[in-house]
Amino acid sequence: MKANSALSERISPTASGLAPDRRRIPENWWGIILMAPAILLIAGLVLYPVLYSMWLSLHAKHAYLPIQRFIGFENFKFFLLEDEEFWRALKLGSIFTFGSLTLQIVIGIGAALVLNETFVGRGFVRAVTLFPYMLPTIVVVILMRWIFNDSYGIAKYLIQSSGLTQTPIVWFSSGMVMITLIMVSTWTFFPFVVIGTLSRLQTIDPELYAAAKVDGAGIFRRFYHITLPQLRSVIFVVVLLRFMFMFTKFDLVWLFAGAGGVGYFVRTLPIYTYLKTFGEMQVGAGAALSTMMFVMLGVFAFAYFTFFRREEHL
């Protein structure tokens, strides 16, 4: 019996440990297996549409009819070398993006600094400050078109009653519509900057400010040497995200100004892309514009990260 038991134990796969090793999944494969669902999801929802858009940009394709012809880089050559409307849309988009971004950063950081102080009703003021960011875009547009109406808008009443001017300002004229749009976008999205900045301000050690006061540092020196360096990483992310969001902003511009009339004076690249794709039924041309916007944002992000890392090492 002992001999049989020893023999069976010697030839048993479990005892030898060979069979489980053959069936066991290598540990380095577990990472791939666990990441596979996320990779497939990203590939299906992000990578495939981007690659498909790039493929469409090489074709002359109708939006609805089954008409499609490979033309290579002709769409890109047309926009870059022949189409003046593309460069005009890029210029208007840059004005809208940088104008909105600058005001959002300045006002957002200033509001966050105020809201970080202690005063009566601070919680209520914080809640009210976040209110514009929670409104649907269509509600913002309806509200602002009523406020800035040059006949019965409240902006006209406040300006004239204050004595600044008796001539009504036509906020939706060709020369003012971009300024009006920038102001509206600033009011709508500056709470995003407030949220990120305020959350970082609340984590700064108060002892740093106390030590600076003991050394005789004033409010501006404390801001420059303590607050601003602490906000550096937050401002980096906020500027990057807000630039991308404003450069590709479609709904606010479209609902605010439309396609015709004064909308022509705020026809940014996303609006121009939409009109090319669904107005002129040129899906290939629209895909080429989308691809160029994607490349522009990629170049900006790369340059931005490169500059930030260089500054970090200085």
**What's the pLDDT tens digit per position in 205-261?**
888 888 988 888 888 888 888 999 899 989 999 999 999 999 999 999 999 887 678
Please tell me whether residues 137 and 21 are part of one structural domain: no
Please tell me whether residues 172 and 49 are part of one structural domain: no
Look over the chain and give the mean of its residue pLDDT values, rounded to a whole number: 87
55-59, 102-106, 149-153: lowest mean pLDDT where? 149-153
Write out the H or E segment, with its range, that includes residue 59: strand 59-61
Kindly state the tokens that stand for 206.
């108060």
In a domain, 68, yes or no: no
Please tell me whether residues 52 and 189 are part of one structural domain: no
d(CA 277, CA 61): 10
Please tell me whether residues 198 and 231 are part of one structural domain: yes
The pLDDT value given to residue 170: 87
Residue 116 pLDDT more than 50?
yes
Please tell me whether residues 40 and 92 are part of one structural domain: no
Please tell me whether residues 134 and 11 are part of one structural domain: no
- Structural domain boundaries, residue 34: 2-56
Residue 22 pLDDT more than 70?
no
Burial of 194 (C-beta count, 10 Å sphere; 0-12/13-18/19+): buried
Kindly state the tokens that stand for 64.
């609805």
Please tell me whether residues 115 and 243 are part of one structural domain: yes
In a domain, 65, yes or no: no
* Residues 276 and 282: beta-carbon distance below 8 Å: yes
pTM equals: 0.84
Q: How many domains in the chain?
A: 2
- Categorize the per-residue pLDDT at 161 as very low, low, confident or very high, splitting at 50, 70 and 90: confident
125-134, 138-147, 235-244, 301-310: lowest mean pLDDT where? 301-310
134-148, 190-204, 216-230, 235-249: lowest mean pLDDT where? 216-230
In a domain, 69, yes or no: no
36-40, 53-57, 108-112, 185-189: lowest mean pLDDT where? 36-40
The number of helix segments (H) and strand segments (E) in the chain equals 18, 2
Give the Cβ contact number of residue 152 at 10 Å.
8
Residue 131 pLDDT more than 60?
yes
